[in-house]
Amino acid sequence: MTSFLPAVAEQLFKEVQKTYQEKTQIPDDLLIALRFVFGSCALQALDLVDQRSVTCVSSPSGRRAYQVMGGSGLLYTCYTYCHYCPCPAFSYTVLRRNESLLCKHILAAYLSQAMGLFQQETLSDQHMSNILSGRAAATDT
């Protein structure tokens, strides 16, 4: 995963991956642990995963990001490798107030990765550059 997250969070993602592969569901005790570590955004993130709102976009050059369709219908491009999301909740609760480790969009990206429940889309290097630089419309693929 990433060294930006505490070891307990990374261990939770490993447990999600292991149990989801075996049972195709997350047991209650693991749901409680996710809620304890990530707060209210855990259930919101799982809802985004259930709705198949996460797409991993990649390019031939190897660049990769996750696009998450938020509940409001806005598309957020999240970067798990540097732990960043452009949503207002990330700016406020994670960066400004330091009240949370992640926003629901980044958490959904991590969970969808662990559960293997994301859509995959390959883009040209130019299009990926435009997305990463913020010059492309998020829905223009």
Q: Is residue 1 part of a domain?
A: no
Is residue 2 predicted with pLDDT exceeding 60?
no
Q: Is residue 121 part of a domain?
A: yes
Is residue 118 predicted with pLDDT exceeding 70?
yes
Cα distance between residue 39 and residue 33, in whole Å: 9
**Average model confidence (pLDDT) for the chain?**
90
Q: Is residue 140 part of a domain?
A: no
Q: Is residue 40 part of a domain?
A: yes
- Domain residue limits at 59: 7-132
Single-letter amino acid code for the residue at 87: C
- Number of domains the chain contains: 1
User: pLDDT-derived band of residue 136, with 50, 70 and 90 as boundaries?
Assistant: low
Is residue 21 predicted with pLDDT exceeding 80?
yes
Q: Is residue 73 part of a domain?
A: yes
User: Residue 101, CB half-sphere, CA atoms under 13 Å: how many?
Assistant: 21
Q: State mean pLDDT over 85-106.
A: 92
Q: Is residue 63 part of a domain?
A: yes
The whole model's pTM is what? 0.88
Listed in sequence order, the residues at least 6 apart from 21 whose beta carbon sits closer than 8 Å to its beta carbon are 116
Cα distance between residue 29 and residue 27, in whole Å: 6
